[in-house]
A and B are shown apart, each in its own frame.
Chain A
């Protein structure tokens, strides 16, 4: 089974500053990688996903992530955060397309005005 590590449980950042949320996974076999966002009192919504090809993936709301196979990492970045980005962010991995998703413990991003 895969193991997903989100290194930071809480990340405070000032508005308009850049942010990076870190994610590492355990296996070097081919995987599919996802970032989800959970706004307060809501379900999980897909931000972006990596399947193959270009290692830089762009998602919604100005987020992007970079896949690094040698470091088994999939860090999420945004160059300038907004108050509305305050949420919980989850990294997820799947070895087989469409099933058995493994989630990290989440990173709580708080954007400070």
Chain B
């Protein structure tokens, strides 16, 4: 089954404690991205990756890092989380260049930073 898998689904952490949210897709997609969803603000892109070892900032990259060492994985790293990073996070993947392809989303990770 084609899917994007995020882990964990729920995470509560304390300010300053480094954490990683994993994302993996099994569709051989080249394009992957991370979004955060906040009430009234919709989905805002944090980082994206066009391919292995190619990453770039989205609209709200401050406080986040990503890496793309393999095509299937695109982890989101918060080196020193702060309460304003409490949010719902989504990973997505798609196949660039294929007309009509949509973004496929993971189930989301609800992060609370206290």
Contact = CB atoms under 8 A, between A and B. Distances in A.
Interface string A41-58: 111111001010000000
Interface of A: 6, 9, 32, 34, 36, 41-46, 49, 51, 90, 92, 96-101, 103-106
A46 to B, nearest CB: 5
B90 A97 contact: no
Given A43-B107, A97-B100, 19 more contacts: A9-B40, A34-B103, A36-B105, A42-B107, A42-B108, A43-B90, A43-B106, A51-B99, A90-B42, A96-B96, A98-B31, A99-B94, A99-B96, A101-B33, A101-B103, A104-B42, A105-B40, A105-B41, A106-B42
B11 to A, nearest CB: 15
B102 A46 contact: yes
B4 to A, nearest CB: 8
Contacts of B100: 32, 49, 51, 97
B43 A97 contact: no
B98 A97 contact: yes
Interface residues of B, number: 26
Counting chain B CB atoms within 10 Å of each CB, the highest count among A32, A92, A96, A101 belongs to: A101
Nearest to B40: A105
A contact patch SS: strand
Counting chain B CB atoms within 10 Å of each CB, the highest count among A99, A104, A106 belongs to: A99
A105 B38 CA distance: 9
Counting chain B CB atoms within 10 Å of each CB, the highest count among A41, A49, A97, A106 belongs to: A97
15 contacts: A34-B103, A42-B108, A43-B106, A43-B107, A43-B108, A44-B103, A44-B105, A51-B100, A90-B43, A97-B96, A98-B31, A99-B31, A100-B48, A101-B33, A101-B103
